Chain A
Amino acid sequence: MEVQIHDPQDPNIRAYQTREELIQKMKMRFSLYGYNQIRTSTFEPFELYVDATGTIHTDEMIKIIDRTGKVLVLRPDVTIPITRELAAQNFTASEHTRYFYVSDVFRNSFDDNGTKEKSQAGIECFGEKSAEIDAETIAIAIQTLKDLNVTNFKLEIGHADFFKQIAAETELNPQELEQLKKYIQAKNITEIAPFLEKHNVKPEVAEAANAIPLLYGNPKTVINKAQKFALNDTMKEALRNLSEVYEVVEAYGLEKHVVLDFGLINHMDYYSDIIFQGFIDNVAKPVLMGGRYDHLSEQFDASIPAIGFAFDVEALIEGTTKESYEEPTSVDITVIYEKTRQQEALYIAGELREQGLRIIAIPAKNVVKANSRSIIQLTENKQVLLAGNETKEFNGIDDLKDIL
């Protein structure tokens, strides 16, 4: 049998290590801001998502029927179960807690290729509501992208109240609102105006709906332009909120990475205030999404202000593999032995592993090529350590440890 002992170019190892390294960097960044890791259950009750409105469409979820006939779903989301959990624990708005997670989520239609599994790495900050925490959350997202050596990226910030208030000021039915939402998401101003006219929407509301898709770009400029389309106090408040958040983002010195987009509408209806998404070079879809969701907990009879976001890990990998990642960690020492000295060789290998060295032990007849930094050879009558160009003989394990 021929065995290649260790191949640093092994694509499986490389793929895993790239991913691990990326996740480690994200975890590090999250924990530097006081976030602690948690995980949620893989199986969850179907009713949790049926009862929670504005969350995930029931067709999207992957369902399983257990022995008793109960319907379960594979974790379609992380934010919802964490919020439900905190609500069940009588978490009150006066408490604060910061969680992060790296979890797989499962849905039927992530894309047209039938991908059903996706890894998310995200943070959720519960109990705090201020422009400072909103800006900090945005800063964490930006800092994480910098940690990953992403050079060209943009965070688009919007406000959930803008579309919600415009929708409330019209008398469109849900189906028509869905159509309007699609037009705004597509920035399709060609069709918004005739559509609103056809449905007798008040001129000032129509004007606002027509304007928001193109309210995009430098936050200060865009907020100024948006003032005249603020139809009511809630929208004015939204603009004040965005200004405040942006001021803090400036204080972090990160303003060049953000733009405002009033046409931004998240597909999750539970967002209540600021919402945002991030784009990087060479990835066609957002690599991160998030926002404030103060009302989600109300669906579980609690009142917990919260903000969070999640990275799409696979999308990030797609966009960052060209960046330099470390070589996969290799083996420190290969122990190659004659069958007659097997017991001794396995003992040496075991002792060295106790010292924290990565060891592969293998009979001489199986060896093709060893890619470790050093090699220990146990032949019929000799034991040597080959390190670099040097060859050293040694007597027993203690002597070996001394040489090492």
Chain B
Amino acid sequence: MEQLTLALAKGRTAESTIELLNKAGIDFPDFHEKSRKLVFSNPENTLKLIFVKAVDVCTYVETGAADVGVVGKDNILEAGADIYELLDLKLGKCKFSVAGLQDTPPLEEAKKLVVASKYPRVAENYFQQRGIPITTIKLNGSVELAPLIGMSDVIVDIVETGNTIRENGLKVMADIDDISTRLIVNKSSFATKTESIQQVIEQLKSGLE
């Protein structure tokens, strides 16, 4: 069978994903947490694992540089890539939410909003569907700061426990979407390497049970 390339998001969910792969019978013996290596192979050489930045996983898979990928729904929504999203790996569960200051009026009353986010596309889609015109400000971190210093009215961000939001004196105003880690697949690979890909999916499904 042809070798598959699997792109894995570095960071938050990498370790639990590797655990899941192990449970599914896919081992990468060379892998350990502190390794700086970015490419690993399983002993059978049927899978090549590459570690890439989370925001890039969809790009690797859409362009076919990787056949399959494991990445958070947050990045999938933001990338808007033309790919298959075949499995919910149920890891790294959290939410996309809109948050604002305690005294920010409800969203339904808003005429126009300035929204700060690491995910401008997600923010735009959400408010466009509700008919609220917005201006987005793309930030790369510490998004909670934006409403506090008057840079934006609200933020769109990932909320896991809500602690960061609360500690910064903000409140969650609406939930946009549930997020978890997904298995994504390139459409061409799915057609031309069907067997190998189906096998990985079946293995992962059994690992999830």
Contact = CB atoms under 8 A, between A and B. Distances in A.
B12 to A, nearest CB: 20
Given A187-B84, A190-B88, A283 B191 contact: no
B63 A187 contact: no
Interface string A253-287: 00000010000000000000000000111111110
B149 interface: no
Interface string A175-200: 10000000001111110000000000
A153 interface: yes
Interface in B159-201: 182, 186-189, 191-192, 194
18 contacts: A154-B192, A156-B191, A185-B82, A186-B83, A186-B84, A187-B85, A188-B84, A190-B87, A190-B182, A259-B194, A281-B192, A282-B64, A283-B188, A284-B62, A284-B186, A284-B187, A284-B189, A286-B188
B195 to A, nearest CB: 10
A279 B88 contact: no
A130 interface: no
Nearest to A263: B84
Q: Of B63, B187, B191, which is in contact with the most chain A CB atoms at under 10 Å from its CB?
A: B191
Contact of B191 (A185, A187, A279): A279
Q: Of B63, B84, B129, B186, which is in contact with the most chain A CB atoms at under 10 Å from its CB?
A: B84
B83 A153 contact: no
Nearest to B88: A190
B86 A187 contact: yes
Interface string A140-162: 00000000000011101000000
A285 B191 contact: no
Interface of B: 62-64, 82-88, 129, 182, 186-189, 191-192, 194
A154 B191 contact: yes
Interface of A: 152-154, 156, 175, 185-190, 217, 259, 279-286
A267 to B, nearest CB: 10
A152 B1 CA distance: 13
A186 B194 CA distance: 16
Contacts of A175: 129
Q: Of B62, B186, B192, which is in contact with the most chain A CB atoms at under 10 Å from its CB?
A: B192
B85 A186 contact: yes
A283 B192 CA distance: 10
Contacts of A286: 187-188
Contacts of B129: 175
Contacts of B87: 190
Contacts of A190: 85, 87-88, 182
A174 to B, nearest CB: 12
Nearest to A185: B82
A90 to B, nearest CB: 40
Contacts of B84: 186-188
Contact of A259 (B64, B88, B191): B191
Contact of B192 (A185, A189, A280, A285): A280
A279 B194 contact: no
A357 B153 CA distance: 76
A284 to B, nearest CB: 3
A115 to B, nearest CB: 14
A217 B187 contact: no
Nearest to B63: A284
Contacts of A280: 188, 192
B188 A152 contact: no
A192 to B, nearest CB: 11
A285 B187 contact: yes
A190 B192 CA distance: 24
Q: Of A185, A190, A282, A283, which is in contact with the most chain B CB atoms at under 10 Å from its CB?
A: A190
Contacts of A189: 86
A194 to B, nearest CB: 9
A152 B192 contact: yes
Contacts of A217: 194
B37 to A, nearest CB: 26
A185 B88 CA distance: 16
A284 B64 contact: yes
Contacts of A153: 192
Contact of A188 (B85, B191, B194): B85
Contact of A279 (B63, B82, B188): B188
A211 B92 CA distance: 27
Given A187-B85, A188-B85, A190-B88, A283 B64 contact: yes
Contacts of B194: 154, 217, 259
A304 B139 CA distance: 53
A154 B192 CA distance: 6
